[in-house]
């Protein structure tokens, strides 16, 4: 089982060193909510990578990515979060996520690679990516914000989550969500005509 990226403990109000006393309460609430969503995403991705429930892997990932994108949408809709300091504090060495990536590659073997339009606004170039690689990129960005959050730097965490949502993980999570939905649709709908007809008959004649 791959090691889960270390999940920081949630700081109490007294630990939120970089939240100004006059900061809006909803800013604190957004940070707490994104932290919870980030933890849930990391937990789900790690459990899927462990292959404990392979039949539910796609559905679990679909739910996890959808939930964390909802949090990202809130961050994207907010005004820019600006930390007091103009540099990101040193968090020490980054966690090693290669085992998580390798485990996800194994679980998603056969459906990992996909194609997409690189930038639907500025051009139509088709590029390739992997679900496993994109999931790890999202995990890495969320975990980085959680490390700031654990240290009590809530504004720094919000800045990082918001910036990385707009610059990287929001795009990758959106692409993965479409792939997961497409895979799930194929699994549910691509059935033999006879099987579909029998299911329809049984539904109409209980």
Residue 21 placed within a domain: yes
Residue 54, classed as helix, strand or coil, is helix
Could you list the residue range(s) of the whole structural domain that residue 23 is in? 13-204
Given this model, what pLDDT does residue 28 score? 83
Look at 196 and 127; give whichever has higher pLDDT. 127
- Give 11's pLDDT tier (boundaries 50, 70, 90): very low
Is the predicted pLDDT of residue 76 greater than 60, yes or no? yes
- Annotate 119-139 with three-state secondary structure: CCCCCCCEEEEEHHHHHHHHH
> Cα separation of 192 and 206, whole Å?
21
Q: Is the Cβ–Cβ distance between 104 and 45 less than 8 Å? A: yes
Residue 185 placed within a domain: yes
Work out the mean pLDDT of the chain and round it to a whole number. 82
Residue 6 placed within a domain: no
Residue 117: phi, psi to the nearest 5?
-80, 125
Using the 8-state DSSP alphabet, how is residue 112 labeled? Answer: S
Q: Is the Cβ–Cβ distance between 107 and 51 less than 8 Å? A: yes
Mean pLDDT of 143-158: 90
Mean pLDDT of 77-104: 78
- Give 91's pLDDT tier (boundaries 50, 70, 90): low
Given this model, what pLDDT does residue 186 score? 84
Is the predicted pLDDT of residue 21 greater than 70, yes or no? no
Given this model, what pLDDT does residue 49 score? 96
* Backbone conformation region of residue 152, classed left if phi is above 0, alpha if psi is from -120 to 50, else beta: left
Q: Is the Cβ–Cβ distance between 39 and 149 less than 8 Å? A: no
Among residues of the chain, what percentage have pLDDT more than 90? Answer: 52
Residue 60, Cβ density class (10 Å: 0-12 exposed, 13-18 middle, ≥19 buried): middle
Residue 2 placed within a domain: no
Residue 125 placed within a domain: yes
Residue 31 placed within a domain: yes
- Give 34's pLDDT tier (boundaries 50, 70, 90): very high
Residue 29 placed within a domain: yes
Is the predicted pLDDT of residue 85 greater than 50, yes or no? yes
Residue 113, classed as helix, strand or coil, is strand
Mean pLDDT of 33-38: 95
Q: What's the predicted TM-score (pTM) here?
A: 0.78
Which residues 6+ apart lie within 8 Å of 163 measured at CB? none
Is the predicted pLDDT of residue 16 greater than 50, yes or no? no
Mean pLDDT of 129-154: 94
Residue 4 placed within a domain: no
Number of domains in the chain: 1
pLDDT in tens, 39-52: 999 999 999 999 98
Is the predicted pLDDT of residue 112 greater than 90, yes or no? yes
Q: Which of 157, 159, 108 is nearest to 131 (CA)?
A: 108
CATH of the domain at 85: 1.20.120.1550
Q: Which of 168, 152, 160, 169 is nearest to 41 (CA)?
A: 169
């Amino acid at each position: 089982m791959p090691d889960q990226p270390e999940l920081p403990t949630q700081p109490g109000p007294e630990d939120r060193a970089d939240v100004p006393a006059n900061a809006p309460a909803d800013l604190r609430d957004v940070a707490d909510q994104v932290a919870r969503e980030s933890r849930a995403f990391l937990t789900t991705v790690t459990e899927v990578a462990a292959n404990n429930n392979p039949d539910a892997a796609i559905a679990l990932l679909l739910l996890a990515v959808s939930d964390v994108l909802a949090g990202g949408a809130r961050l994207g809709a907010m005004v820019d979060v600006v930390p007091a300091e103009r540099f990101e504090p040193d968090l020490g060495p980054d966690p090693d996520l290669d085992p998580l990536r390798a485990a996800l590659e194994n679980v998603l073997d056969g459906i990992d690679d996909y194609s997409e339009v690189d930038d639907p606004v500025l051009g139509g170039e088709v590029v390739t990516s992997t679900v496993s690689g994109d999931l790890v990129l999202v995990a890495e960005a969320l975990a980085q914000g959680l490390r700031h959050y654990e240290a009590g730097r809530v504004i720094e965490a919000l800045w990082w989550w918001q910036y990385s949502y707009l610059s990287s993980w929001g795009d990758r999570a959106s692409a993965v969500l479409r792939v997961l939905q497409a895979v799930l649709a194929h699994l549910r709908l691509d059935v033999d005509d006879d099987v579909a007809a029998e299911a329809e008959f049984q539904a109409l004649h209980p």
